[in-house]
A and B are shown apart, each in its own frame.
Chain A
């Protein structure tokens, strides 16, 4: 074999394969998911859906299906028969599109929202806030990276404004949290310093977004977890035909009692068997937990700013914790209530007034699914409060953002009445 032939035998197959791959990804495949796929995606809670764009954009743009985005975290995986998606399928006109798993706190949700900003414009949404997000270090870098791919990062960078303090703050967090991916981190640092990306950098982002979008269109409809068939549809049939809040609530309390009868904590039997029965070190294990000081407050602020940008009418929920459980772990409930107070202060000070505060509801019978997750009667009540908001026309919201909520002063403020008063006097006019 001559050297030329040898070179061809080495590199020929590679070149041909590379050429073919490039052709496949350069073709602007249209994403066309069937209504059934969208239905499956809406409750799949798959990171695939969270990280990518095609499916959620198609779903939210679909006027007929009437999907409403629900942002939250691990409580969305508590799918008993009173779960919002099940209830909506049975009794309401809207269909929840659930975005939330363990670790999808404010920042991952911001990137998620950024990808579908045009579809959220002037629409409604539900946002479930867990005080447990507000730990000292905020969202864990691993969780952030798990729910946040390059695609979302690039989409965010493409629209970031280096003059906005919100975007500079987000860029800083993005840089910190994606420690290893070269281009994204270095562009983020540039935004953080307040510099515009140059033409080359913007072109680079654009090309990469285009390729990722084609990939997304091709693949993201696969590998969706089929919660719909397994956990939604069969339970919908168990619900009574006619909507009657009191009856549903009483039924839920009763069903909950039956499902939690192997323990006196009000925790689902299977959860108790797997996670609690054998666990040591429970007593006093959460004595020193505090959610009062956290970068998460500023992370939440950039989410609020995004909702203001898209003028989305949002109803918030602050989650309860199981009080019997927390008595065991020694969690300081006063601290918990204070956290809820601080979150509410931040929301209300800026015109986010639709708030369902369940922080005190954790001792109601049948309200909790397990230790820190709402379920059963809790879901019934939640559904009862959001459905009228989502199914009926609402007056347009009036949000007025305040940058003071980005400051470390706010992140680290202990929300005593005096401190809040003082903060208000100094920063909010």
Chain B
């Protein structure tokens, strides 16, 4: 079936420098249009379709079907709920809609742990689309999404620059950008940011990450595995090189996605803001994978606290905030995948947030430490090293080191 799709070239989003040549040439008419105050919606839809198609054709063509089915499924849920919400507002229906919206990702994430292989429902980027859909349902419930139809929703879900790996935008913000054409002044400002972003992305992704991802990290892993299952100093190397690889790879990718969005006249929010300069773990999450952490903050943490306070579930607000932090980070852990290391990663960060809050309170109460360059450095140093340690857990290397029997690939 459809073997022709297997034969077509496949282009992972932002995978190679050549990709950008094709992409930028295809986007040029759109940019000229925006410069002259016109948004060529049909041309844009066509270019988006072609490039999304190229991400999912070839050998991964089954994913294309999963993607299309998934978007139809989410659109039906979101639009139905939107119509329902205009007339009524029962909690049960809202929870049902959220549950249905989350169902595919729950199946996809639990499949490997339950049945031992990846679910066929999955495709690259499913989690990011889930965030967009679920967020839209929640905001519809709150009555702040007032203008929604299937075409607008599909455009939001399938916005090409961010479809496979974020950043995670919000429907209302996206729709606001999309419905208007930026002024020439404004558009030039966007382009002026997009160009350096692209080049920062090139340096991160194709230069620095080459060293981290292709040379140093694999080398450290190889060395460290030689003394498996025992720990060695190489494991420290694994942790730091993985942190570098993860950051430069993902931040580079995010720069590309943001830059391409800007060129298309959409201000997709940025995803990274010098995360390794954070002075505490809370600040880290305001700088690292920001659209994800803000999503969790707004839709899980704040809503939980809101409800718990209203219903007076906890007497002590410090207990409440600790529970909320743990819940927030554990859900994030599970979202990454149902494996011991993702869950432990979530647990570590939850605990770190709790400890951090406790320390700030304790410090404020018991002694006045002047904030100096020196204290800031120590705080940053501790934060950075904790984060690196948590990434070592996150990357799954320890699973390989301790639990994978050598010789069984």
Closest chain B residue to A275 by CB distance? B226
User: Is B229 positioned at the interface, with any CB of A under 8 Å from its CB?
Assistant: yes
Tell me if B58 and A279 are in contact (CB < 8 A): no
Complex partner residue of A186 from B8, B184, B407, CB under 8 angstroms? B8
> Which residues of chain A are near B12, meaning CB under 8 Å?
180
Q: Cα distance A11–B192 when bound, in Å?
A: 9
Q: How far is it, in angstroms, between the C-alpha of A182 and the C-alpha of B8 when the chains are bound?
A: 8
State whether the Cβ of B165 lies closer than 8 Å to any Cβ in chain A: no
B230 with A278: CB separation less than 8 A: yes
Residues from chain B with Cβ under 8 Å of A7 in the complex: 188
CB closest chain-B residue, reference A184: B9
Given A181-B16, A286-B407, A189-B192 contact (CB < 8 Å): no
| Contact A186 B192, CB 8 Å, known A278-B227, A279-B228, A285-B405 | no
Residues of A within 8 A of B6 (CB): 189
Q: Is residue B29 within 8 Å, beta carbon to beta carbon, of the partner chain?
A: no
Q: Is B406 an interface residue (CB 8 A)?
A: yes
Minimal Cβ-Cβ distance residue in A for B184: A3
Residues from chain A with Cβ under 8 Å of B10 in the complex = 179-180, 182, 185
Chain A interface size, as a band, is 20 to 34
**Knowing A180-B15, A183-B9 touch, does A6 contact B192 (C-beta < 8 A)?**
yes
**B192 and A182 contact, CB distance less than 8 A:** no
Q: In this assembly, does A281 line the interface, its C-beta being within 8 Å of a C-beta of chain B?
A: yes
Decide yes or no whether B351 CB sits under 8 A from chain A. Answer: no
A241 proximal to B (CB < 8 A): no
A179-B9 in contact (CB<8A): no
CB of A36 within 8 A of chain B? no
Q: Is the CB of B7 within 8 A of A182?
A: no
Contacts of A181 in B (CB 8 A): 16
- What string of 1s and 0s marks CB contacts (under 8 Å) between A148-187 and chain B? 0000000000000000000000000000000111110110
- Main SS of the interface on chain A? helix
Q: Report the bound CA distance from A11 to B24 in whole Å.
A: 13
Q: A186-B8, A285-B407 are in contact. Are A11 and B195 (CB under 8 A)?
A: yes
Nearest Cβ distance between residue B151 and chain A, in whole angstroms? 30
- Residues in B with CB closer than 8 Å to A6 are 188, 192
In this assembly, does B392 line the interface, its C-beta being within 8 Å of a C-beta of chain A? no
Partner of B7, one of A11, A14, A189, A278: A189
8 Å CB contact of B407 from A10, A140, A281: A281
Could you tell me if A285 and B406 are in contact, using CB atoms closer than 8 angstroms? yes
Residues in B whose Cβ lies below 8 Å from that of A63: none
Choose among B10, B11, B16, B407 the residue with the greatest number of A CB atoms under 10 Å from its CB. Answer: B407
Q: Is B160 an interface residue (CB 8 A)?
A: no
Q: With A10-B191, A281-B407, A285-B406 in contact, do A274 and B11 touch (Cβ < 8 Å)?
A: no
Q: Using A3-B184, A285-B407 as known contacts, say yes or no to A10 and B229 having CB atoms under 8 A apart.
A: no
Q: Which residues B44-100 have CB closer than 8 A to chain A? A: 54, 58-59
Interface string of A183-215 (1 = CB under 8 A from B): 101100110010000000000000000000000
B27 CB to closest chain A CB (Å) equals 14
**Residue numbers in B under 8 Å from A10 (CB-CB):** 188, 191-192, 195
Assess whether B188 is in contact with A3, with CB atoms less than 8 Å apart: yes
A247 on the interface (CB 8 Å rule)? no
Is A64 part of the contact surface with B, judged by Cβ < 8 Å?
Answer: no
Interface residues of B in 222-236 (CB under 8 A from A): 226-230
Query: Which partner residue on chain B sits nearest A179 by CB separation?
Result: B59
User: Does A242 have its Cβ within 8 Å of any Cβ on chain B?
Assistant: no
What CA separation (Å) do A190 and B409 show in the bound complex?
32
Cβ contacts under 8 Å, B7 to chain A: 186, 189-190, 193
A280 CB–B CB distance under 8 Å = yes
**Could you tell me the distance between the alpha carbons of A252 and B59 in the complex, rounded to whole angstroms?**
51
- Whose C-beta in chain A lies nearest to the C-beta of B10? A182
> Which residues, 1 to 23 on B, are CB-close (under 8 Å) to A?
6-12, 15-16
Cα A329 to Cα B408 with chains together (Å): 13
| Assembly CA distance A281 to B10 (angstroms) | 41
Shortest beta-carbon distance, A242 to chain B, in Å? Answer: 40
Nearest chain B residue, comparing its CB with the CB of A9:
B192
Decide: B9 and A274 in contact? CB cutoff 8 A: no
Contact indicator B58/A185 (Cβ below 8 Å): yes
Q: Residues of B within 8 Å of A, CB-based: how many?
A: 27
* Bound-complex Cα distance A180 to B13 (A): 11
Q: How far is the CB of A278 from chain B (nearest CB, A)?
A: 5
Our pick among B9, B16, B226, B406 for the contact of A185 (Cβ within 8 Å) is B9
A183 to B21, CA, bound (A): 14
How many Å lie between the Cα of A54 and that of B299 in the bound state? Answer: 57
A1-50 residues at the B interface, CB under 8 angstroms: 3, 6-7, 9-11, 14
Distance in angstroms between the alpha carbons of A285 and B406 in the assembled complex: 8
Q: Are B54 and A182 in contact (CB under 8 A)?
A: yes
> Shortest Cβ distance from B214 into chain A, in angstroms?
9
Write out the residue numbers on chain B whose beta carbons fall within 8 Å of the beta carbon of A280: 229
B202, chain A: closest CB distance, angstroms:
11
Chain A's nearest CB lies how many Å from the CB of B62? 14
Q: What residues of chain B lie closer than 8 Å to A193, measured between beta carbons?
A: 7
Contact A279 B406 (CB under 8 A): yes
Within 8 A of A (CB), among B201-238: 226-230
User: With contacts A3-B188, A180-B15 known, is A281 near B405, CB below 8 A?
Assistant: yes
Shortest B201–chain A CB gap in Å is: 14
Smallest CB gap from B227: residue in A: A278
When chains A and B are docked, how far (Å) is the Cα of A341 from the Cα of B281?
Answer: 62
When distances are taken between beta carbons in the complex, the residues of chain A under 8 Å from B191 are: 10
Give the docked Cα–Cα distance between A183 and B10 (Å).
8
Complex Cα–Cα for A180 and B124 (A): 14
Rounded to whole Å, the gap between the CB of A369 and the closest CB of chain B is 16
Closest chain A residue to B194, Cβ basis: A10
Q: What residues on A are CB-neighbors of B192 within 8 Å?
A: 6, 9-10
Cross-interface CB contact of A274 among B8, B58, B59, B227, cutoff 8 Å? B227
Using Cβ atoms and an 8 Å threshold, which residues of chain A touch B58? 179, 182, 185-186
For B11, the chain A residues whose CB sits under 8 A away are 182
Minimal Cβ-Cβ distance residue in B for A146:
B214
Return chain A residues, CB-CB under 8 Å to B184. Answer: 3
Interface flags for A214-254 (1: CB within 8 Å of B; 0: not) read 00000000000000000000000000000000000000000
Question: Which of B7, B15, B184 is the most central at the interface, judged by chain A CB atoms within 10 Å of its CB?
Answer: B7
Cβ–Cβ < 8 Å partners of A11 in chain B = 195
Interface string of A317-356 (1 = CB under 8 A from B): 0000000000001000000000000000000000000000
Give every chain A residue within 8 A of B195 (Cβ-Cβ).
10-11, 14
Identity of the chain A residue whose Cβ is nearest the Cβ of B58 in the assembled complex: A185
**353-409 of chain B: CB within 8 A of chain A:** 405-407, 409
Cα(A179)–Cα(B226), bound, Å = 29
List 25 interface pairs A-B (beta carbons < 8 Å), by A numbering.
A3-B188, A6-B188, A6-B192, A10-B195, A179-B58, A179-B59, A180-B10, A180-B12, A182-B10, A182-B11, A182-B54, A183-B9, A185-B59, A186-B7, A186-B9, A186-B58, A189-B6, A193-B7, A274-B226, A274-B227, A278-B227, A279-B228, A281-B406, A285-B407, A329-B407
Task: Mark B residues whose CB is within 8 Å of A.
Answer: 6-12, 15-16, 54, 58-59, 184, 188, 191-192, 195, 199, 226-230, 405-407, 409
Question: Interface on A for B, CB 8 Å cutoff?
Answer: 3, 6-7, 9-11, 14, 140, 179-183, 185-186, 189-190, 193, 274-275, 278-281, 285-286, 329
User: Top 3 closest A-B pairs, CB basis?
Assistant: A182-B9, A186-B9, A189-B7
In the complex, besides A6-B192, A279-B406, A280-B229, 17 extra interface pairs with C-beta distance below 8 angstroms are A10-B191, A14-B195, A140-B409, A182-B9, A182-B10, A182-B58, A186-B7, A186-B8, A186-B58, A189-B6, A190-B7, A274-B226, A274-B227, A275-B226, A278-B230, A281-B405, A285-B406
